[in-house]
Amino acid sequence: MAMHAEARALLDRVTAQLQAARDLTRSADWVAKNTAHPKKFPAPWTFEGHEFQVGIMNDSRPKGSIRKCSQVGMSEVSVRLMLALLSIYQGYTGIYTLPTTGFARKFAKSRIDPVISKSAVLRPMVPTEVDSSELKQIGDSFLYITGTYGQVSAISVPGDILFKDEVDFSNPVVLSTFSSRLGHAEGGGVDREFSTPTVHGYGISESFEQSSQAYYMVKCDKCGSWELPDFYQDIVIPGFDQSIVEFDKAALRDPQVRADDAYIRCPRCHHPLSAANLTDPAKRQWVEKVENKDHGGWQVYPWDVYAVNPIARTLKYVNDYERLADWVNFKVGLPFEDAETAFVPDVVKAMFQLQHVPARRGAATGCVMGVDVGKTSHLLIGKRMSPTRFDLLHAERITQTSEGRLVDRILELADWFGASKLVIDAMPDFSTPLYVISRLPMGQAYACYYMNNPNKKELDDLRADPDTGVVHAFRTGTFDTTVKAVNTGQVVAAQLDAAERKEFEDHLGAMKRVNKESASGERVASWVAVKADHYAHALNYLMIADQLCDEKYGSGSVACLPHAAKVRMKS
């Protein structure tokens, strides 16, 4: 006789509580037995067409990172896994995060509530008095659903299970706080994060790169070898002979390009991998690149759910995105950097074409300066040579070893290089820029405050007041301008010693342009640092100083307010 659902669930809970360690190896079975198919109710949940999910769900390591493309069902299956764990391991606290509070509330109603209401096991475990879009009771366990921007309600709640959805679009500081809530959980708790990526070394990509890095390999019907297709090498588009990163809307409209006939080839024998080959679970398996006992990681490509994401459909999605990077992030599931999202390393390395300029009296005239202040301050000096050329003449690190040394050195270099404009960061200590401003003629030195305002669309990135010596700069817009100037070869640099040059290159390489959710739910562009970035900010201040040489900033009038760049994309 078949066991009743409630009795089977009770047996699962008793068995789990008797185990010495938490075991997730039967999670997929529990979900299949106790939750319903979202579109074919009352049919049970099935992993058919999404078999890759089973290996991820059944992994018992405390930490797991899933780097993925869109439309592979990770949010749907993660909700079911969270509810399964909370129902089996009674007395647990789960936290499910999404980018914004508004998104979290809608997600609770549209994605979590239907799973509960259609489950004979879960439904009676959720009392109506504790069943909101922010908090749900599941037996003796509790589930908090919260955003990372906006009003955050679960910051102080200790947790046993933490699922972080859309990591790259969430507030990293808040996510770190949530992760700390697992500190007292047995065995470190269960920590799962997943997201479409943005750039290398940031968010889900940084985490994935520290994990076991598993890939869902395929056994080729033709040569019988287990292979991992490469997006950049193994996508074949008849009539298109360029690199896949050159594929765009124009190529899609070209009658010679047959995107409908595109296919994936076997990396070994170059034979086409058919739909039947790619969708046969007997010919797919997870293979880990790195041994990691505590941190599992999985890369999910569109062809891992080939029935939903055939190659032709993936290619046609290029029409929905204005930027190539967004298409690669969302529809392929890979980090991507180009001249719009990072300083191009090869261009930065090629900048150093001028002879070394010694720092001494009379070194140059008509220069500008940018200074990033810290325990070790970073200073850059340069000169505008033409509308399309800016020469970077000097770079220097200054360690504050005595009172006034930093200010004295700044003033000395300003004199030696004839600096007409100087921009120094105002935060976190305003005393240094205030002293510099007080020692120079009005309008020569400015303390810079970065601003981010996603609610206004203005005409300029700077608002300068020479009377107070303060410039407010739209952070994203000014970095966009600086990065474009470098990547288009407009900035040429003098030779630096090896250590200074390496630090300069490393700091510029740390800056990446990503898209984040604002508190209002809009996606806005932002420059983030994946490691030390001081010279990158000094360069941005330097280019701001160059802009301030424009006569429109010569008066105390406000030209305009800063604004935030919005990126239109398909969610």
pLDDT tens per residue, the chain (571 residues)?
Answer: 345 555 555 555 544 443 444 578 899 999 999 999 988 888 999 999 999 999 999 999 999 999 999 999 999 999 999 999 999 999 999 999 999 999 999 999 999 999 999 999 999 999 999 999 999 999 999 999 999 987 665 567 889 999 999 999 999 989 998 988 887 787 789 999 999 999 999 999 999 999 999 999 999 999 999 999 999 999 999 999 999 989 999 999 999 999 999 999 999 999 999 999 999 999 999 999 999 999 999 999 999 999 999 999 999 999 999 889 999 999 999 999 999 999 999 999 999 999 999 999 999 999 999 999 999 999 999 999 999 999 999 999 998 776 678 999 999 999 999 999 999 999 877 889 999 999 999 999 999 999 976 445 555 899 999 999 999 999 999 999 999 999 999 999 999 999 999 999 999 999 999 988 776 667 788 999 999 999 999 999 999 999 999 877 764 333 333 333 433 444 3
Q: What CATH number belongs to 345-553?
A: 3.30.420.240
Cα-flanking dihedrals φ and ψ of residue 41, to 5°? -55, 135
- Nearest-CA neighbor of 12 among 152, 23, 538, 133? 23
The pTM assigned to this predicted structure is: 0.86
Distance CA 186, CA 225 (A): 41
Q: Using CA of residue 481, residue 483, residue 489, residue 492, what is the dihedral sign?
A: positive
Q: What CATH number belongs to 5-213?
A: 3.40.50.300
Q: Using CA of residue 452, residue 454, residue 456, residue 458, what is the dihedral sign?
A: positive
Distance CA 315, CA 330 (A): 12
Quick: pLDDT tens for 140-170: 999 999 999 876 655 678 899 999 999 999 9
The domain segmentation of the chain, as residue ranges, is 5-213, 215-288, 345-553
Contacts of 358-362 with CB under 8 Å at 24 or more apart are 359/394, 359/396, 359/413, 359/416, 359/417, 360/416, 361/415, 361/416, 362/416
**Radius of gyration for the chain, computed over Cα atoms and rounded to the nearest angstrom:** 28
